[in-house]
Amino acid sequence: MEDKKDIKSYNYIELEQEMKAMGEKAFRAKQIYQWLHKERVKSFDEMTNLSKALREKLSENFMINTLEQVDVLISKIDGTRKYLFRIQGGSIIESVFMKYHHGNSVCISTQSGCRMGCKFCASTLNGLERNLTPSDLLEQIYRIEEDTGEKVSNIVLMGSGEPMDNFDNVVKFLGMITDEYGKNLSQRNITVSTCGLVPKIRELADMKLQITLALSLHASDDETRKELMPIANKYTIDEVLDACRYYFDQTGRRITFEYSLVAGVNDTVEEAQKLANLVKRINCHVNLIPVNPIKERDFVQSENKAVQAFKSRLEKNKINATIRREMGRDINGACGQLRNEVMKKGEEVRNV
């Protein structure tokens, strides 16, 4: 990182304080915020309603963080676009743009790498590199809107990384992307997915935001969950579900449970019934994800028949369940796989 301060990570209130500290009028904050988050300029010189002296002062003290687009893979099947961006420090992250009939959705990464260690996940193979800053999070959306020329209407924090392990930056990002002087996105169009850091789920609940919480459950008993997710050694399923109930009580938002189906591990009808018993009294929706095998591990995707049977059993128990539609099948490695390949190859990647 440069020594200069990352101005795009300052929320509106912080910018106002900064302006006052610089002996400037508070309303300059609104102007600067709009230049950065509405107009999305790349230099202080473009902020034409500021005096030249102020622009110079700003560029002496601040930098404007942008992500460098390294590559984009476009699905011939459904137009899904997988982006690789280079962040400050040289590391590469992935973001995905998906077109649905209800609008355009972007899946963003919250960390470069991850330290949660879920066994089936490619993002965690090399551990955590660094937390993404608020500007890194915002930029994934800004760059994609610029590249596609389309508006993004839904955001899911379901890419690489654990959002609750980068809590402060993620919360700040949520405030900024919904700020009326910026993109002004509705909280209801945002989903945050977590492997289940219980105290952080409760902290988020207390903020009473209208975002959707997606909880990666993946098992209906603690022993199986421990086999798949190290975090299960820290928090039991009971504790995680209590936190989900608390989230619903505080926000009124229906919980999404994610359940990746792995053949021979968690995909029998008996397990579907156990899952149904667990979540029956929670206002929820279950999203089934046939596991996307990664070459570093020998997990096998459940057969279609098993997936359908699992879903039917949930529905028999009056639990709303969907099977995640695979988007961009032709460009899809499992989450984080593409990034890993590119990082290994170093600079060989195409520049576009």
Binding residues for ligand SAH (CB under 6 A):
118, 120-121, 158, 162, 193-195, 216, 258, 260, 289, 291-292, 294, 334-335
Q: How far is the CB of 317 from ligand SAH (least distance, A)?
A: 21
Query: Which residue lies nearer to ligand SAH by CB, 182 or 333?
Result: 333
Using only the alpha carbons of the chain, give its radius of gyration: 21
* 62-63 and 5-6 beta bridge pairing: parallel
- Which residue has tokens 């473009």? 46
Q: Which two tokens stand for residue 84?
A: 């690789």
Give yes or no for a contact between 253 and 244, defined as CB atoms under 8 angstroms apart.
no
Name 219's Cβ contacts closer than 8 Å, sequence gap at least 6. 225, 227, 228, 229, 232, 237, 266, 271
User: CB of residue 262 vs ligand SAH: minimum separation in angstroms?
Assistant: 8
- Annotation marks residue 107 as catalytic: no
- State the DSSP H helix or E strand holding residue 228, giving kind and residue range, or none if neither: helix 222-228
Considering 94, 139, 162, 271, which one is annotated as catalytic?
94
Neighbouring-strand partners of residue 301: 262
Rounded Cα distance, 54 and 62, in Å: 12
Nearer to ligand SAH, 323 or 349 (CB): 323
To ligand SAH, the closest distance from the beta carbon of 351 in angstroms equals 28
Smallest gap, in angstroms, from Cβ of residue 287 to ligand SAH?
8
The question of whether 335 is a catalytic residue gets the answer yes
Cα(283)–Cα(121) distance, integer angstroms: 27
Element (H, E) at 168: helix 167-177
| C-beta closer to ligand SAH: residue 125 or 343 | 125
Q: How many C-beta atoms lie closer than 10 Å to residue 254's C-beta?
A: 13
Whichever of 112 and 193 has its CB closer to ligand SAH, that residue is 193
Provide, rounded to whole angstroms, the least separation between the CB of residue 158 and ligand SAH.
4
Phi–psi pair at 4, nearest 5 degrees: -65, 150
HSE-CB of 255 using CA atoms within 13 angstroms: 28
Phi, psi (rounded to 5 degrees) for 123: -65, -20
Task: Map residue 256 onto helix, strand or coil.
Answer: strand
Least distance to ligand SAH, CB of residue 169, Å = 14
Cα–Cα nearest to 336, from 111, 89, 75, 104: 111
Q: CB-wise, 16 or 258, nearer to ligand SAH?
A: 258
Amino acid letter for position 6: D
Task: Please say which residue, 182 or 336, places its beta carbon nearer to ligand SAH.
Answer: 336
Q: Of the two residues 121 and 306, which places its CB atom closer to ligand SAH in the complex? A: 121
For the chain, how many helices (H) and strands (E)?
Answer: 11, 14
Q: How far is the CB of 164 from ligand SAH (least distance, A)?
A: 8
For residue 302, report the phi and psi dihedrals to the nearest 5 degrees.
-65, 150
Catalytic residue set: 94, 335
